[in-house]
Structure 1
Amino acid sequence: MSPTESATEPTAPAPPAAAGPPPRSAAGVLSDSRDLVVPALREAVEGLPPAMRRIGGYHFGWCDGDGAPVAGGGGKALRPALVLLAAEAVGGGARPALPPAAAVELVHNFSLLHDDVMDGDTTRRHRPTAWTVFGAGPAVLAGDALLTLAFEEVSRGGSLVGAHRAAEAGRVLAAAVQDLIGGQSADLSFERREDVDLDECLSMAHGKTGALMACCTALGALWAGAGPARVGAMRDFGANLGLSFQIADDLLGIWGDPEVTGKPVHSDLRSRKKTLPVVAAVASGTPAGDELHALMAGHERLSGAEAEHAAGLVEAAGGRAWATERADALLENALEALRTAVPPGRHREELASLARLAAHRDG
């Protein structure tokens, strides 16, 4: 057969492009995120002075109070998972986004160490809180150390994405920390007031939780090189998700199963916290809401019986139903922003699955 004849013969059709991997479940996403992020967190914490290293390791669940290693521990790593997924969703990679992913988890745990001291909480993740083991002052200092590490992680990550992008990421993270501190300050001020309204409480929740979630999704997209419009849509996704997450957390603080949450039943009511279901119930204008308002006044911790009665009043006044409906509406807002930012496919499905888990979790 001549070369000319060969060239005119039909060629076999090209095989179809191989399909990409199927979307992971939310649990699979979180597991993969932990596998990537925990070694980076351990390396960062290992660089702390010995006293801070021990408290940090205990808080993360890596060791006991004496510093001896223990199995398991740590949280779900939702926030770093959002960073990694957001980076992938705009065309980047998960591993290059490890510095900001580790940074947001360090910021989150800085806030938890401080929150436990300020709220007087004695249990977290089914074990005594760090301040009850090491003292309030050392626990606060350990939180400060984690916050410092967060910005070091972002700065070191500049070698991957360039100094300019790392500096912008640092500014985004710093703004989120300021919002978080503002939200926590408002939360503390509510304890001394009896006239907290629902808009104030929503604003507090956005600062305390929504701002860092918005930072996670924006930071992942920014780190991977997305443009301003896409970063903004991802920020909206995270902000709405964060507020939905906080409402779910407030519901768990009243009705969560202690075996799952690691906290005593009715823990938020016992400490008279003005969470969103409580404030919505008080604002209902119902007899149950008025009785709840009177019961939640004062500063002494409620007894178990009083807290149980308060939970019944929140439900009777419609606070539980309002919170559930609002969390669902915010989740839908988040998913709409996600549809704007990310085309159909695996990454969008994984982010949506993670969002639904966060808004409807049981612990």
Structure 2
Amino acid sequence: MTAPAPATAPPHVLVRSRELVRPALAAAVARLHPWVGEMAGYAFGWCEVGGSPAAGPGGKGVRQALAVLGAETAGAPAGHGVPAAVAVELVHAFSLVHDDIMDGDTTRRRRPAVWQAYGTGPAVLAGDALFALAVETLAAAPGGPGAVRLLSAALADLVHGQADDLLFAARSWTGVSAREYRTMAERKTGALLGCAIALGAALGGAPETTVGALDQAGRHLGVAFQLVDDVLGIWGDPAVTGKPVHGDLRQRKKTYPVLAALGSPAAPRLARLLDEPGRAAEAAALIEEAGGRAAALAEARRHTARAEALFAGVPTAPAELRVLLDFLIRRDL
């Protein structure tokens, strides 16, 4: 796999999946209390505060695309993956709304986070509603009980990973190992990506072995996705990422570039910089100089290769999966 290059236009699979899933997702959100539904629409990027239509494109829709591709991997029409796509999009939105509160992030996609726009209590309520709606959506689908079990297992991992991520912030800079990081990333990010494609495949009638292989591939993809997020969290352009520059360093997040750089001779100097307020820019430069950025991208490529190998072991996997993999690893870098 070649070195990451700047992302271009989103691949067609994201566009067609969004067009397929959006009506069902909007119909699900419309069942919520109107005020809660407005907050959900704001979280998805569909509207502004007050309900007026938003001009932005919203999120990328990666998880819904994976659910659609999962159904197609099973040999079923893409529509079989729509309930899975709606459910994982709802869960993803729920997790972002709550994550922003826990992390104190004030912006999301270049505008105020839901808790900043509506208040903390209303944002918690909106997140809870999105979670409940996801379970309801899957329970009503054909094969619902099995699908709900898959989602529940992924949610348990997501919560475990988020708990570790929060606890890591209280540890010393050298108190988190790369192995602990990878486990956290697989649970926090990989579990839902794996669940997305596995759910689509399960609802499409795929055998359990295929569902399991796709779940594992999605988990590796999730680790790679998180590693790229780590890079963007330090060096990404806020105008592109919608997140504050050096935000992860200010929050003392034990991201992979930091952990890798702390394993270099620059560790003592870097640890001092990381502990001094107002020196995040200097710390970011030293992390890159010490090889932290390159190490994170190399690790992302390794996990992407593992995902590709698992996808290659499923003969019916659509070629668009590889296109989506490349896009996710190259995004905004």
1:58-137 matched pairs, under 5 angstroms = 58-137=42-121
Cα separation, 1, equivalents of 2:293 and 2:54? 38
Note if 1:275 corresponds to 2:255. Answer: yes
**Superposed displacement of residue 294, structure 1:** 2.9
Q: Which amino acid is 1:180 matched to? A: L
Asked if structure 2 preserves the Cα contact closer than 8 Å seen for 1:240 and 1:331, the reply is yes
Shift of 1:297: 3.8
CA distance in 2, matches of 1:43, 1:201: 38
Q: For the residues of structure 2 that align with 1:73 and 1:124, how far apart are their CA atoms?
A: 13
Alignment partner for residue 171 of structure 1, among 149, 172, 175? 149
Deviation string 1:109-158 (CA, Å, 9 cap, x unpaired) is 10000010111111111111110111111111111110001011101212
Report the count of equivalent residues.
323
Structure 1 gaps, min length 5: 1-24, 159-164
CA distance in 1, matches of 2:43, 2:57: 9
Residues 248-263 of structure 1: matches in 2 within 5 Å? Answer: 248-263=228-243
Query: C-alpha separation between the residues in 2 aligned to 1:241 and 1:184?
Result: 18
| Counterpart residue number, 2:322 | 352
| Distance of 1:127 and 1:285 partners within structure 2 | 37
Identify which of structures 1 and 2 has the higher relative contact order when contacts are C-alpha pairs closer than 8 Å and 6+ apart.
2
User: Contact (CA 8 Å) 2:273, 2:282: kept in 1 or not?
Assistant: no
C-alpha distance after superposition, 1:290-315 (max 9, x if no partner): 222233348xxx43xx1111111211
Q: Which residue is 2:3 aligned to?
A: none
Verify the 8 A CA contact 1:60 1:73 in the aligned structure 2.
Answer: no
Q: CA separation in 2, counterparts of 1:44 and 1:190?
A: 36
What letter is aligned with 2:160?
Answer: G
Which of the numbers 225, 237, 244 marks the counterpart of 1:264?
A: 244
- Extract unaligned runs of 5+ from structure 2: 1-8
Matched, 1:233 2:213: yes
Asked whether the equivalents of residues 90 and 342 of structure 1 are also in contact (C-alpha less than 8 Å), the reply is no
Q: What is the identity percentage for the equivalent residue pairs of Structure 1 and Structure 2?
A: 49
- Let me know the Cα RMSD of the aligned residues: 1.5
Q: Is the 1:210–1:243 contact (alpha carbons within 8 Å) kept by the matching residues of 2?
A: yes
For 1:275 and 1:319, the matched residues in 2 are separated by 10
Aligned 8 A contact 2:256 2:296 in 1: yes
The residue that corresponds to 1:314 in the other structure is 287
Match of 2:170 among 167, 192, 197: 192
Distance 2:225 2:202 in 1: 23
* Distance in 2 (alpha carbons) for counterparts of 1:332 and 1:314: 25
Counterpart position of 1:243: 223
Aligned residue identity for 1:255: W
The alpha carbon displacement at 1:82 in A equals 0.3
Match of 2:39 in 1: 55
Whether the 8 Å CA contact 2:98–2:123 is kept in 1: the answer is: yes
Following superposition, the deviation at residue 239 of structure 1 comes to 1.0
State the Cα distance separating 1:269 from its structure 2 match.
Answer: 1.5
- Mapped partners of 1:90, 1:42: distance in 2: 26
Letter in 1 for 2:320: E
Contact 1:254 1:269 in 2 (8 A): yes
**Distance of 1:56 and 1:141 partners within structure 2:** 10
Question: Counterpart amino acid of 1:172?
Answer: L
* TM-score calculated relative to the size of structure 2: 0.93
Do the aligned partners of 2:70 and 2:81 also contact (CA within 8 Å) in 1?
no
Q: CA deviation at 1:26?
A: 5.6
Query: SS of the residue aligned with 1:272?
Result: coil
Q: Is the 8 A contact 1:217 1:237 kept in 2?
A: no
Q: Tell me, what secondary structure is at the counterpart of 2:331?
A: coil
Deviation at 1:337, TM superposition (A): 0.3
Structure 1 segments of 4+ aligned residues over 4 angstroms from their partners: none
Alignment equivalent of 1:339, drawn from 297, 312, 327: 312
Q: Secondary structure at the match of 1:64?
A: coil
Task: List aligned pairs for 1:138-217, cutoff 5 A.
Answer: 138-158=122-142, 165-194=143-172, 195-217=175-197
Distance 1:115 1:314 in 2: 25
Q: Which has the larger radius of gyration?
A: 1
The answer on whether the counterparts of 1:97 and 1:223 sit within 8 Å (CA) in structure 2 is yes
Deviation (angstroms), 1:245: 0.6
Instruction: Tell me which of 294, 298, 322 is aligned to 2:272.
Output: 294
Distance 2:244 2:18 in 1: 26
Contact 1:104 1:150 (C-alpha < 8 Å) held by counterparts:
yes
Is 2:15 the counterpart of 1:42? Answer: no
TM-score computed with the length of structure 1 as normaliser: 0.86
Q: Is this contact kept in 1: 2:234–2:245, CA < 8 A?
A: yes
Q: What is the CA–CA distance in structure 2 between the aligned matches of 1:246 and 1:342, rounded to whole Å?
A: 27
Q: Distance in 2 between matches of 1:132 and 1:73?
A: 20
